[in-house]
Amino acid sequence: MSNYSLSSLIWKRFRKNKLAMAGGIIVSILVVVAVFAPVFSPYDPGDIDRTHILVPPDIHHPFGTDDLGRDVLSRMIWGSRISLAVGFVAVGIATVIGLFFGALAGYYGGWSERIIMRFIDIMLTIPTFFLILAVIAFIEPSIWNIMIVIGLTSWMGVARLVRAEFLSLKEREYVLAARALGASDFRIIFRHIMINSMAPVLVSAVLGIAGAVLVESALSFLGIGVQPPTPSWGNILTLGKDNIEIAWWLSVFPGLAILITVLGYNLLGEGVRDSIDPRLWDTVRK
């Protein structure tokens, strides 16, 4: 038993999960493509070629061209940056807010917990997507505004997770010992409790990235997300909707990209959740 460290147990469990590994590979490929978009992109995503309008996939344009003669593959490669940025920034904002309010409610309890949890209950009764639509309708639909709005409307689940973890962990022996030694609330929260409550938050963050990518694509598809000429999988899909009868590739390829990306993050999140579950560690050792 001593031959296994916590990290090696988690990695061994994760590695044995083929679906989780597949999700990790998909996410890794997406990150590499997004980071090195100038290298992988065969054309400039904004180059207009009126002699090659709505050309079907061929050797020169593997994913075809759009109604302005722009290479769809190049635009999708650059659009992956939008998906990556929205996912990480929006989930980062939601996680920070959720950690703050969840820790406050779980550690102190009392009136602060009641106020925070009732506010979360109210927020959860409002359909998130329609709330985002309402907010975007009153502000400029830019990529930064979208990331901030998604983050500000997606923190409730994280807060509930963190609150539950704090309610359990604040009564553990090591927390009681730290309090008896005179440790401040700040030190107990951040050095003793929060670091041990991050496992479910990590899983929630990975799954949340998939949701953020889907929301951004839907907003761009409706025309209130990332605005042209900036490439986004959602606004490429909008062109596909307008030309569905003569340019099938404008709908199929970005749709598959969104499907595979969301599937990859979900498989990765499920794999991480299974790997960090201590109830499965004895199975791994065997």
Q: Which of 79, 33, 65, 111 lies closest to 249 in space, CA to CA?
A: 65
**Tokens representing 228?**
């042209």
Q: How far apart are the first and last CA of the chain?
A: 10
- The CA-based dihedral angle spanning residues 53, 235, 242, 248, taken in that order and rounded to the nearest 10 degrees: 70
The CA distance from 91 to 27, in Å, is: 16
- Compute CA distances 53 → 67, 75, 79, 98, 244, whole Å: 5, 15, 20, 47, 15
Q: Tell me what pLDDT residue 244 has.
A: 84
What is the dotted CATH code of the domain comprising 80-285?
1.10.3720.10
Asked whether 95 and 158 are in contact (CB, 8 A), the reply is: yes
Q: Tell me what pLDDT residue 130 has.
A: 84
Q: Tell me what pLDDT residue 220 has.
A: 86
Q: Tell me what pLDDT residue 11 has.
A: 81
DSSP label of 203: H
- Compute CA distances 16 → 23, 257, 279, 283, whole Å: 13, 26, 16, 11
Q: Which residues of the chain have pLDDT under 50?
A: 1-3, 283-286
Q: Which of 30, 158, 62 lies closest to 104 in space, CA to CA?
A: 158
CB contact set of 42 (below 8 Å; sequence gap of 6+): 71, 73, 74
DSSP 74-100: HHHHHHHHHHHHHHHHHHHHHHHHHHH
DSSP label of 65: B
**Residue 45 phi, psi (nearest 5):** -65, -15
Overall size of the chain counted in residues: 286
The CA distance from 239 to 145, in Å, is: 23
Helices first, then strands: H and E counts in the chain: 14, 0
DSSP label of 191: I
* Total-model pTM: 0.85
Q: Which of 225, 212, 63 lies closest to 136 in space, CA to CA?
A: 225
DSSP label of 170: T
**What are the extents of the domains in the chain?**
80-285
